[in-house]
Amino acid sequence: MADGKQNILIISDSLHDLPDAVRVLRESGHRLSFIHSLKRWQDITADEMPFPIAETDAIVMGRVMTVTEEALCLTPKLKVIALHTSGSDNVDMTAATQRGVLVTNVKGINAEQCADFALGLMLASVRNIVKGDKAIRTGKWVSETDSSTDIWRATLGLIGLGEIGRAVIRRAAAFDMRLLVHTRTPDENYARNYGIRYLSKDELLEQADIVVLTASLNPTTRHMMDESAFKRMKKTAHFINIARGELVDEQILYKALKEKWIAGAGIDVFETEPLFQSPLFDLANLVVTPHQAGLTESGKIGAAVRAAKNALAVLEGEIPKDSLNPQARREAV
C-alpha cells in the first residue's frame, strides 16, 4: 500500500467485542473491517467494508466460517489467516499453502480452562450431578436417582497428551487417579513424574474407568472412537470429549449410550456445530454442553490478543511460532 497501511478483515463477533485485541490491531495503524462470522463469503458486499475484499491482507477469525479454495480466490493479496482458536480444520490448508498464505492458531492458549471443564464433565457424568439437579426440580429426592461411582482413585485414560492433556493430568493427580495415556509422542521423564503408564489405544479403553479425549483432529484420527472403540470400554466407564466432535462417530456414541455399552458420557463438541437438535439430547446418561470448554473471559481475551499479534507479525514480514504452515512462504508462486 502506498500509505503503508494494510487491510485486516476480522470475521468474528467475539473478537470485535474484545477491546484488548481490537486495540492491538487499531494501534498498528492498519485499516480494519468487521464482518459477522455467520455470513457466507459470497454474501459480503462492498458497502460493508472500507476496502474491497480482494484487497484484504490479513484475516483474523475463529472456526465458524470455512476458508475454502474458492474463498482464497476472492482474496488474492491475502498473507495470513490468524485463527483465535486452537483448531484449524475450517481452513483449506493445502490451498492456503499453495497460495503463500500463512495460517496461525493459538493452540494451548486455553489449556487450563479446557482442563477445568474436562474435570467438570467428569464429575457431572460420573457423579450424576445433572441427573440429580433435574430430579430435584421435578419433585424427586436424591435417594430416587441412580447412585454414582467414585472419581477418587479411579483409572483415567487420556487419549492425547498435548497442553490440554497435560493440564488434565495435573488435575487428575489431585484426585489420586491411576493415569493411563495413549499418545504418539510418549515422554518417559514426564511419565515418571506423574506415574503415567503409556498404553495402546485398545489397552487404555479396556482398562479405564473414565476416558478423556484431548487428541487433535486429522485424517487419521477422524472417528477414532468408533464401534470397536466403544465396545472395548467397560460397561461402567464414562467417556468425555472436549477435543473435536469429528473424533467420535456420533451415531455409534448414541448407540453405545442407548444400549448401555458404557455408563455415561460428557460431550462438549459435536460433528456438526452449532447443533440444536439431536437424538443424543434425549439420553439421560449424557451431559452435553455447547463447545464452551475454553470460553472463559481470560481465555477469550488471551486467544484474541494472540491472534491479533500473529496477524500483525506476518504483515511485518515475520513467521510467528504459531504458524501451522511456515512452508507457505516457500511454496508461493
Rg (CA), the chain: 22
Q: Out of 244, 246, 250, 306, which one is annotated catalytic?
A: 244
Please say whether the dihedral angle defined by the alpha carbons of residues 115, 117, 118 and 123, taken in this order, is positive or negative. Answer: positive
CA distance 200 to 49: 51
Which is nearest to 68 in space by CA: 87, 49, 86, 95? 95
Residue 212, all three cell numbers? 478423556
Helix (H/G/I), strand (E/B), else coil: 40 = coil
Strands (E), 86-193: 102-104, 155-159, 178-182
Give catalytic status of residue 244 as yes or no: yes
Coil, helix or strand at residue 173? helix
Evaluate whether 159 touches 214 at the Cβ level (below 8 Å): yes
Of 316, 314, 315, 307, which is closest to residue 88 (Cα–Cα)?
Answer: 307
Residue 306 designated active-site: no
Q: Which of 127, 223, 291, 329 is catalytic?
A: 291
CA 313, 315, 323, 242 torsion: positive or negative? positive
**Catalytic status, residue 331:** no
Residue the block writes with cell 485486516: 8
- The grid coordinates listed for 71 are 474463498
**Catalytic, out of 69, 144, 273, 331:** 273
Catalytic residues: 244, 273, 291
